[in-house]
Amino acid sequence: MTLGDKEKVAIQRLKAFEPQTEPYFLCYSGGKDSDAIRILAELAGVKFEIHHNLTTVDAPETIKYVKSVPGVVIDKAHYEDGTQKTMWNLIVKKGLPPIKKARYCCSELKENGGKWRIKITGVRAQESINRRQNSGLVKIIGKPKTTKKNAEKMGIQYDETPQGGLVLNFDNSESRRFVEQCYRTTSTMVNPIIDWSEDEVWEFLKHYGCEGNPLYKCGEKRIGCIGCPMQGYKKMQEELNKYPKYKQAYIHAFGKMLEKREEKGKPTYNWKNAKDVYNWWVGLDKRGDRSCQKVTRKHRKNL
């Protein structure tokens, strides 16, 4: 299938699952994939709202780029008392830095927007094994027993993901009707470029004159949070040295985190100060991965 064909299919998908009573909730990160779905939504002529979830650890270049997008809405996460959630107060509350096996930052700061809406995301299967296993054309999360029962009643073909939820890989009329019926009680994501490659995304953007986030021109391969543990120790260190104010903000939060753990009588192990936590977090200590994993398991039990 050529890129032109894939573009037509993606537009058809967006038209097929367009909600009847309100606009799509378009999840916009400021990365290349979210630029692609933004342009596709315009080409499809569907109604949509562009939403960016403020993580408080996005690069300054990304924030500037996001704000340049016409009509973008920047959403902030809040606690029940109305206080804004930030990476810094989440670290203190959770009692642990964000790590690969405990990425509370994603669920707390990035994934809580658009509740009970049909969301457009730039998820692509090529990005990771996890994406291939847990994502399809449409992903539905919430009330799994009821959702599966309704799907089976309507004869919908679906896969059940390891992380929970249903994935629909077909955009037939029954699938469309199923999504329309259940999205008000579930979290529903439409992934129009699920089968696109990275090269196809860039070719598409070039064709429509979109240069993308300026960080790509600086050699960045992905656009995400500063200090994201998913990028590995070396990249974390490089990134935090590039943005020293964020590095100091993390260290300050780690200090507050240790104080809170001590107040609650929770162990701090061999972390004597905030710098010790930082060195462990970015892999600069001499204990190595094995010791880090051991400490991680202990900390997760004490969250």
* Closest C-alpha among 275, 295, 254 to residue 91: 254
Tokens 């896969």, residue located: 159
The answer on pLDDT for 291 being more than 50 is no
Mean pLDDT is lowest, of 4-18, 159-173, 204-218, 222-236, for 159-173
The answer on pLDDT for 164 being more than 50 is yes
> pLDDT confidence of 290, banded at 50, 70, 90?
very low
Tokens 């903000």, residue located: 249
Q: What is the spatial distance between Cα 52 and Cα 153, in angstroms, rounded to a whole number?
A: 36
> pLDDT confidence of 103, banded at 50, 70, 90?
confident
The distance from CA 217 to its chain's CA centroid, rounded to whole angstroms, is 22
Taking only the tens place, the pLDDT of each residue in 202-236 is 999 999 999 999 999 998 888 989 999 999 999 99
* Closest C-alpha among 1, 43, 12 to residue 192: 12
pTM of the model: 0.84
Mean pLDDT of 162-177: 68
Taking only the tens place, the pLDDT of each residue in 75-85 is 999 999 999 99
The answer on pLDDT for 109 being more than 50 is yes
Task: Supply the CATH classification number for the domain 3-77+112-204.
Answer: 3.40.50
Mean pLDDT of 192-199: 93
Q: Evaluate whether 20 touches 108 at the Cβ level (below 8 Å).
A: no
- What's the mean pLDDT when you consider all of the chain? 86
Q: What is the spatial distance between Cα 292 and Cα 296, in angstroms, rounded to a whole number?
A: 6
Taking only the tens place, the pLDDT of each residue in 240-287 is 999 999 999 999 999 999 999 999 999 988 899 999 999 999 999 865
Residues in the chain: 303
The answer on pLDDT for 48 being more than 90 is yes
The answer on pLDDT for 299 being more than 60 is no
The answer on pLDDT for 303 being more than 50 is no
Mean pLDDT is lowest, of 52-66, 115-129, 161-175, for 161-175
Q: What is the pLDDT of residue 9?
A: 92
Residues 6+ apart with CB under 8 A from 265: none
Q: What is the pLDDT of residue 137?
A: 79
> pLDDT confidence of 289, banded at 50, 70, 90?
very low
Q: What is the pLDDT of residue 168?
A: 74
Domain ranges of the chain: 3-77+112-204, 229-301
Q: What is the pLDDT of residue 158?
A: 73
